[in-house]
Amino acid sequence: MNYGTLLLLPLLAMGADGDHDATVHHAFDNIDEWVARFDDPERDAWQKPVEVVNALGIRPGSALADIGAGTGYFTVHLARATGPDGPVYAVDVEPGMVEYLAERAGKEGLPNIKPVLTPADEPGLAADSVDLVLICNTWHHIDDRLAYLKKMTTALRNKGRVVIVDFKEGDLPVGPPAGKKLTREAVIGEFEKGGFRLVEEPDILPHQYVLVFTR
CATH number, position 37: 3.40.50.150
Residue 12 lies in a domain: no
First to last CA, the chain: 32
Residue 97 lies in a domain: yes
Rg (CA), the chain: 16
Residue 11 lies in a domain: no
**pLDDT attached to residue 8:** 31
Residue 164 lies in a domain: yes
Residues 6+ apart with CB under 8 A from 43: 2, 73
88-92 sheet: strands from edge to edge: 113-117, 88-92, 64-67, 130-136, 156-167, 208-214, 197-200
Residue 98 near residue 78 (C-beta atoms within 8 A)? no
pTM listed for this prediction: 0.86
The phi and psi torsions of 61 (rounded to 5 degrees) equal: 90, -5
Residue 172 lies in a domain: yes
Structural domains in the chain (count)? 1
**pLDDT attached to residue 105:** 98
Other Cβ atoms within 10 Å of 7 Cβ, number: 19
| Identity of the residue numbered 139 | W
**pLDDT attached to residue 1:** 33
Residue 82 lies in a domain: yes
CB burial class (10 A; 0-12, 13-18, 19+) of residue 42? exposed
Residue 154 near residue 80 (C-beta atoms within 8 A)? no
**pLDDT attached to residue 33:** 77
Residue 193 near residue 165 (C-beta atoms within 8 A)? no
The phi and psi torsions of 30 (rounded to 5 degrees) equal: -90, 90
Residue 62 lies in a domain: yes
DSSP 31: H
**138 is in which domain, residue-wise?**
18-214
Which DSSP string corresponds to 145-168? HHHHHHHHHTTEEEEEEEEEEEEP
Residue 1 lies in a domain: no
Question: pLDDT per position in the chain (215 positions), as tens?
Answer: 333 333 332 222 233 344 677 655 455 566 777 666 888 989 999 999 999 999 999 999 999 999 999 999 999 999 999 999 999 999 999 999 999 999 999 999 999 999 999 999 999 999 999 999 999 999 999 999 999 999 999 999 999 999 999 999 999 999 988 888 999 999 999 999 999 999 999 999 999 999 999 99
Other Cβ atoms within 10 Å of 95 Cβ, number: 12
The phi and psi torsions of 154 (rounded to 5 degrees) equal: -65, -20
